[in-house]
Amino acid sequence: MEKRSKILIVDDEPFNVDYLEQELEDLGYETASATNGEEALEKVASEAPDLILLDVMMPIMDGFTTCRMLKENEETRLIPIVIMTALDATEDRIKGIEAGADDFLTKPVNERELIARIQTALKLKHTVDRKLHELRRIKDHFAKFVPEAVKRLVTANPEAPELAKREQDVSVLFLDISGYTRLSEQLAPEALNTLVERYFSTFLDHIHAAQGDINETAGDGFMAIFSDPAPRVHAIRTVDTALQLLTATALLNKENSGQSLSIHIGINSGRALVGSTRFEGRHGTRWTFTASGPVTNLAARLAGAAEAGQILAGPETVRRLGDRYRLELLGRERLKNMGDPVEIYHIWGLATETH
């Protein structure tokens, strides 16, 4: 008999916990609960959950701090964390990304969206667990035959968990699905997962072909990072990729006989702290590649301000594009937690077919 997945619910509101326990147990999940971040850390150590639903606003220790501590601990880094928040989605997404969250839910929680995000996170976790089990089995098999000298090469430098982060000029692209909550109300969770996976698989192919790096996916969106020794080159490559993603979405929508998707994108360029981090946990090794700082924050806020089908870019990206694209200055806006008003540009497409 297959083992039931265990979900830890962390919320200081008893009504929220009771509601989630009932919903999840009706769906066949095992549950545990905690009322604050400190208690959550204890429960994770004793209960070994497969997934954590984590509220943000709690006494003693808030959700972002709890998430950061769990992701910094090698024993708990691989447990998917879905942050639940009633606060501003864009601001929380930035804080959640910085803390290491795997996905996000907006309170009050929509039942269908809850199911969709939990199933997506658990499906990914179980897939990773299976792959890691296979790798461990292969490693154990070859360990019987590999000479000691080769073993030393394979296990060289095991103490270095992180490739040195350094300041680097990059372009950052945030993509989100428009109206994800509405879709979760219209589609069964499995159908929504299948739909999103199909589109995201195509998106990731385009990004990899353009030499971009993915900072993981988070349910209805992801961040991609583009770099090149020439700053203008990676800015153009990022915008070209964004336009390709809009075109790919339109083509996929034509192919679908049922539900279609819309996306919106934010892009920004400049110097950010960039690097890869290796997480060693009890379930194996996981690598993440990320960029942090004001450049990333503005890209996320531009994505949050974009409407369905829009690509919004910051002034530094636009400064590097020359006359390659049709651009529209939407104005100067004071975005949340940004000190000065920012020029926001809508990128419509290529200026001419010959560019």
Rg of the chain over Cα atoms, rounded to whole angstroms, equals 21
Residue 155, pLDDT above cutoff 70: no
Looking at the fold, whether 322 and 258 belong to one and the same domain comes out as: yes
For residue 40, the model assigns a pLDDT of 94
Q: Which residue has the higher pLDDT, 318 or 163?
A: 318
Taking only the tens place, the pLDDT of each residue in 28-63 is 899 999 999 999 999 999 988 999 999 988 989 999
For residue 146, the model assigns a pLDDT of 38
Kindly report whether the peptide bond that precedes residue 108 is cis, defined as omega within 30 degrees of 0: yes
Question: Does some domain include residue 220?
Answer: yes
Question: Is the Cα dihedral 45, 46, 49, 54 positive or negative?
Answer: negative
Taking only the tens place, the pLDDT of each residue in 188-233 is 877 888 888 888 888 988 998 898 888 756 667 888 999 888 999 9
Query: What is the residue range of 42's domain?
Result: 6-121
Q: Let me know: does 103 contact 145? Beta carbons within 8 Å.
A: no
Domain termination site, one of 121, 156, 177: 121
Looking at the fold, whether 237 and 305 belong to one and the same domain comes out as: yes
Looking at the fold, whether 305 and 181 belong to one and the same domain comes out as: yes
Domain termination site, one of 61, 89, 121: 121
Q: Which of 51, 89, 251, 246 is nearest to 181 (CA)?
A: 89
Taking only the tens place, the pLDDT of each residue in 266-280 is 999 999 888 765 544
Question: Does some domain include residue 148?
Answer: no
What HEC string does 227-252 produce? ECCCHHHHHHHHHHHHHHHHHHHHHH
For residue 149, the model assigns a pLDDT of 35
Looking at the fold, whether 320 and 224 belong to one and the same domain comes out as: yes
Looking at the fold, whether 33 and 87 belong to one and the same domain comes out as: yes
Taking only the tens place, the pLDDT of each residue in 290-315 is 778 889 889 988 998 899 999 999 99
What's the number of domains the chain is made of? 2
